[in-house]
């Protein structure tokens, strides 16, 4: 296949389970995997509501928990980096480091299936604070007998299916930490209230069968974009982003705002426009006026953007330079 071309492959996914796919044994493949060329593959059995062809794997809700790491030195020079020097700075769940991770919604009285997929180059031991998990399969292979775990080490390239039974008595709005028990919680994403604390951590947010618990998490802001290249002189500058509350409470997105170089209290920034009134994703836009751009000094500047949901929660600020 020539550079820039495409190639199609097909296979029969005959066995149900949770699997990992990633860049193969190709030149520079090890760098491609470490830079994020991987994904989860879910093969479902004929019986809905089961992870495998066994009633013991029945579940009510499910979530994929993709584990990985990120080495910023590798990212700076991915083609020639010596993987023996791999030292990740960020530890990720579904591509994000805490506090940027998305929570996992669950319902009191239900069984939650956690499909762990370790796409990283290090082992991780995942624990759900306050709960035991019932391990039912690994690498797409159903156990003859499931067993209870507080945490289980998942090797690089491995998968683990575990079921959590959530008592019906748990109050809506309760949160439980899902984290690497090896305590890979030390990176700092730059806008973390708890300096030096972050990483492979998220939360299981529990609602009730009669309805979801209170929405206490702000929407997720992504795809913050400015024109590429330098912007010189007193000109209007377009700004765009995407705001979604689908995975963080499913409330309607009601507002978005931006700041230039400095930040302020929630609601004190310059308003952005968008088709508000749904959980999203909502495309939001704004024009940074020439009067503001013209006052900026020569050099790099940072624009911060975040959104608000109908429960009054603001997302933490996302930025683009």
Q: Does residue 199 carry a pLDDT above 80?
A: yes
17-207 and 220-320 agree in CATH topology: yes
| Global confidence as pTM | 0.64
pLDDT digits (tens, 9 = 90+) for 133-146: 999 999 999 999 99
User: Which sequence spans correspond to the domains of the chain?
Assistant: 17-207, 220-320
pLDDT digits (tens, 9 = 90+) for 163-173: 999 998 888 88
pLDDT digits (tens, 9 = 90+) for 35-44: 878 899 999 9
Q: Does residue 190 carry a pLDDT above 60?
A: no
Weakest mean pLDDT among 103-117, 232-246, 253-267? 232-246
Mean pLDDT over each residue of the chain, to the nearest integer: 86
DSSP string, 183-235: -------SS-SSTT--BSEEEEEEEBTTB-----SPPEEEEEE--SS---SS-
Domain 220-320 belongs to what architecture? Sandwich (2.60)
The pLDDT, as a whole number, for residue 195 is 47
Weakest mean pLDDT among 37-51, 123-137, 262-276, 288-302? 288-302
CATH topology of domain 17-207: Immunoglobulin-like (2.60.40)
Q: Does residue 105 carry a pLDDT above 80?
A: yes
In angstroms, rounded to a whole number, what is the distance separating the alpha carbons of residues 248 and 223? 17
């Amino acid at each position: 296949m020539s550079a820039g071309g495409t190639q199609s492959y097909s296979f029969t996914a005959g066995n149900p389970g949770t699997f990992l796919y990633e860049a193969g044994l190709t030149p520079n493949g090890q760098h491609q995997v470490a830079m994020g060329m991987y994904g989860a593959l879910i093969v479902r059995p004929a019986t809905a509501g089961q992870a495998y062809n066994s009633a013991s794997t029945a579940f009510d809700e499910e979530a994929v928990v993709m584990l990985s790491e990120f080495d910023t030195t590798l990212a700076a020079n991915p083609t020639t980096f010596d993987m023996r020097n791999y030292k990740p700075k960020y530890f990720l769940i579904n591509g994000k480091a805490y506090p940027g991770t998305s929570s996992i919604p669950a319902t009191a009285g239900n069984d939650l299936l956690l499909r762990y997929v370790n796409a990283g180059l290090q082992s991780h031991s995942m624990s759900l604070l306050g709960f035991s998990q019932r391990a039912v399969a690994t690498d797409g292979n159903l156990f003859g007998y499931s067993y209870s775990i507080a945490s289980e080490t998942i090797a690089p390239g491995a998968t683990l299916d575990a079921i959590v039974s959530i008592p019906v008595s748990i109050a809506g709005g309760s949160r439980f930490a899902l984290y690497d028990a090896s305590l890979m919680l030390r990176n700092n994403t730059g806008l973390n209230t708890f300096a030096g604390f972050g990483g492979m951590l998220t939360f299981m947010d529990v609602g009730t069968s009669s309805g979801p618990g209170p929405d206490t998490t702000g929407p997720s802001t992504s795809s913050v974009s400015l024109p590429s290249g330098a912007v010189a002189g007193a000109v209007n500058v377009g700004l765009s982003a995407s705001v979604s509350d689908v995975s963080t409470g499913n409330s309607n997105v009601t507002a978005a705002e931006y700041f230039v170089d400095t930040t302020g209290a929630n609601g004190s920034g310059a308003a952005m426009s968008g088709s508000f009134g749904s959980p999203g994703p909502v495309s939001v836009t704004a024009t940074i006026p020439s009067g503001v751009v013209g006052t900026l000094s020569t050099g790099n500047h940072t624009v911060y953007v975040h959104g608000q949901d109908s429960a009054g929660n603001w997302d933490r600020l996302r930025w683009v330079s």
